[in-house]
């Protein structure tokens, strides 16, 4: 009889494994609202526990810019509907469906509690402990710390580094515009070379917190609009620095063909830097019109992680920053715009429309130079892009996509659809 029971247990285990149900432990051990479950393939999951003891599960990375949902808050949307709130940009995701009022969609997993144990239906092998990253002995993705001051003041790279080391955002905007004018009029003629700082300078009075520690207000209020504009201004400040960093960091790149990057490459990213400075200025002015100021709310520096991750490879930088993150900005624009329009905030809508039109050209610039470098080195553009995104971006790309906006930038579906999570 004992042998029969053992065989039955083993047979039931096989059934469970075949159906992709994984037991992650006793339900009594999961008392916190959010628990991150790690997967070796990077598809981490957050297990959510409500106050009344119910459980849900969804992908732990926000489909917008990868914010840590496991550090988010649970909010009651009314009528018993619960949502998990992204701590970076305050987007909410229904625990039941993974949908968001922004139009974003997160992947959810079926959860069952049987005999006091929690089971999640997923193909990914899960663990409660972080999985060490596998790195080769020669791999080094850290950014250099020192600044080379030997570069002449009459070079673009000298001034790029100067902007990166300017902490005050308004001074950063003014200096960016000055350097853009000098470059466009020929007062600066040499590209030069220098080593940019490990991280751009920031004002001492900024409250910089971990991405998961930034809280949101309730939707539909002026305070929530200020919070969203403040978040966008923080993004634009980082975008200014990312533009100057790509100029300074990759000024001496030699392509597989033996050629240097064309002068037009640097001209394009000087323009991108100027656009980002304009965006920050518009957002700061609008925040002040609404009775607040930049720095009144906490900020995070999580967006610089992409710079660190891609510091050794110009193709990776173009792919992740301009063809993934900036393209994602195009995706969320219609929903963000509708939020402000619904509240009659036409002044903010005008600012967002200016930013959107410019961001299309930024995605186009990233794609254009990515394709140029691949062609000059004899690489297949699509295959190279897909490989780099899988290597440097956490998780899959997630719909909905702004196909019209992406197409305007030259990014047709074959670029991003193969990177969407396949259906089970």
104-136 pLDDT, tens per residue?
888 899 999 988 999 999 887 888 776 654 433
Give the DSSP letter string of 78-118.
ETTEEEEEPTTT--EEETTT-B-TTS-B--EE-EEEETTEE
Eight-class DSSP state of 211: G
Average pLDDT, stretch 142-154?
A: 44
Residue 266's alpha-carbon distances to 112, 220, 358, in angstroms, are 54, 42, 17
- What's the rounded Cα separation, in Å, for the pair 46 and 1? 41
**Straight-line distance from the first to the last Cα atom of the chain, in angstroms, rounded to the nearest whole number:** 38
Q: Count the neighbouring beta carbons within 10 Å of the beta carbon of residue 51.
A: 9
pLDDT at 104: 81
* 8 A C-beta contact, residue 161 and residue 248: yes
Domains of the chain plus CATH, in order, are 11-127 (2.102.10.10), 156-419 (1.20.1260.10)
Q: In this predicted model, what pLDDT tens digit does every residue of 317-326 receive, in sequence order?
A: 999 999 999 9
368 CB-side CA count, 13 A: 15
Q: What percent of the chain has pLDDT over 70?
A: 87
Say if residue 14's pLDDT is above 80. no
Which runs of consecutive H residues, i.e. helices, occur in 165-262?
169-185, 222-249
For residues 424 and 272, what is the distance between their CA atoms, to the nearest angstrom?
Answer: 40
Give the model's pLDDT for residue 217. 44
Location of structure tokens 């009029």 = 185
pLDDT digits (tens, 9 = 90+) for 53-94: 999 999 988 887 677 888 888 888 777 789 998 877 778 899
| Banded pLDDT at 207 (limits 50, 70, 90) | confident
**Angle CA 363–135–36, to nearest 5:** 75
Residue with tokens 């596998």: 134
Mean pLDDT (the chain, rounded): 86
Nearest CA to 91 out of 66, 70, 71, 62 is that of: 62
Most confident of 84-93, 149-158, 287-296: 287-296
Does the bond joining 400 to the residue before it have cis omega, within 30 degrees of 0?
yes
Dihedral (C-alpha) 323, 324, 327, 333: value to the nearest 10 degrees? Answer: -160
- CB-CB neighbours of 390 under 10 Å: 12
Strand order across the 81-85 sheet:
73-78, 81-85, 92-94
Query: Order of strands across the sheet with 21-26?
Result: 21-26, 117-121, 111-114
Would you say residue 210 has pLDDT above 60? Answer: yes
C-alpha to C-alpha distance for 163 and 238, rounded to whole angstroms: 12
Find the DSSP H helices in 136-190: 156-164, 169-185
Q: Is the pLDDT of residue 1 over 60?
A: no
pLDDT of residue 147: 34
Would strands 55-59 and 45-49 be described as parallel, antiparallel, or unpaired?
A: antiparallel
Other CB atoms within a 10 A radius of the CB of residue 354 amount to 13
Helix (H, G, I), strand (E, B) or coil at 25: strand
Q: Which of 56, 60, 45 is nearest to 112 (CA)?
A: 56
Beta bridge partners of 58: 46, 108
Copy the structure tokens of residue 116.
């006091």
3-state secondary structure of 40: coil
**Residues for the chain: how many in total?**
424
pTM, rounded to two decimals: 0.70
Distance in angstroms (rounded) separating the CA atoms of residues 182 and 191: 12
Phi, psi of 396 (to 5 degrees): -90, 160
The pLDDT score that the predictor gives to residue 125 is 83
Residue 70 CA to chain centroid, in angstroms? 16
């Amino acid at each position: 009889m004992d042998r029969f029971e053992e065989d039955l247990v083993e047979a039931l285990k096989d059934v469970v494994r075949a159906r992709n149900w994984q037991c992650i432990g006793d339900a009594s051990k999961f008392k916190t609202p959010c628990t991150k479950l790690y997967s070796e393939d990077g598809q981490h999951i957050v297990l959510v526990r409500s106050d009344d003891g119910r459980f849900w599960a969804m992908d732990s990375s926000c489909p917008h810019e990868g914010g840590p949902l496991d550090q988010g808050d649970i909010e009651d949307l009314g009528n018993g509907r619960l949502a998990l709130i992204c701590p970076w940009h305050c987007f909410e995701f229904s625990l039941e469906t993974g949908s968001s009022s922004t139009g974003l969609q997160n992947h959810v997993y079926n959860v069952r509690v049987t005999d006091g144990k929690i089971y999640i239906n997923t193909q990914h092998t899960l663990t409660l402990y972080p999985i060490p990253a596998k790195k080769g002995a020669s791999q080094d993705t850290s950014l250099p710390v020192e600044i080379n001051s030997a570069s002449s003041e009459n070079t673009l790279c000298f001034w790029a580094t100067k902007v990166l080391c300017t902490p005050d955002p308004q001074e950063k905007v003014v200096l960016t515009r000055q350097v853009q004018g000098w470059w466009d009029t020929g007062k600066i003629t040499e590209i030069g070379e220098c080593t940019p700082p490990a991280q751009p300078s920031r004002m001492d009075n900024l409250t910089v917190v971990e991405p998961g520690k930034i809280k949101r207000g309730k939707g539909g209020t002026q305070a929530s609009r200020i919070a969203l504009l403040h978040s966008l201004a923080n993004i634009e400040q980082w975008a200014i620095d990312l533009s100057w960093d790509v100029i300074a960091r990759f000024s001496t790149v030699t392509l597989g063909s033996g050629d240097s990057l064309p002068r037009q490459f640097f001209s394009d990213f000087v323009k991108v830097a100027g656009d980002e400075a304009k965006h920050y200025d518009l957002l700061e002015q609008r925040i002040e019109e609404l009775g607040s100021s930049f720095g009144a709310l906490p900020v995070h520096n999580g967006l610089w992680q992409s710079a660190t991750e891609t510091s050794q490879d110009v193709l990776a930088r173009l792919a992740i920053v301009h063809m993934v993150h900036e393209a994602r900005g195009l995706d969320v624009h219609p929903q963000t715009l509708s939020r402000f329009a619904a509240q009659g905030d036409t002044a903010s809508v005008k600012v967002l429309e200016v930013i959107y039109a410019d961001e299309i050209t930024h995605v186009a610039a990233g794609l254009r130079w990515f394709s140029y470098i691949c062609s000059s080195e004899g690489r297949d553009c699509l295959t190279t892009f897909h490989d780099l995104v899988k290597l440097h971006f956490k998780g899959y790309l997630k719909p909905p996509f702004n196909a019209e906006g992406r197409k305007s930038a030259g990014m047709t579906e074959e670029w991003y659809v193969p990177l969407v999570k396949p259906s089970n």
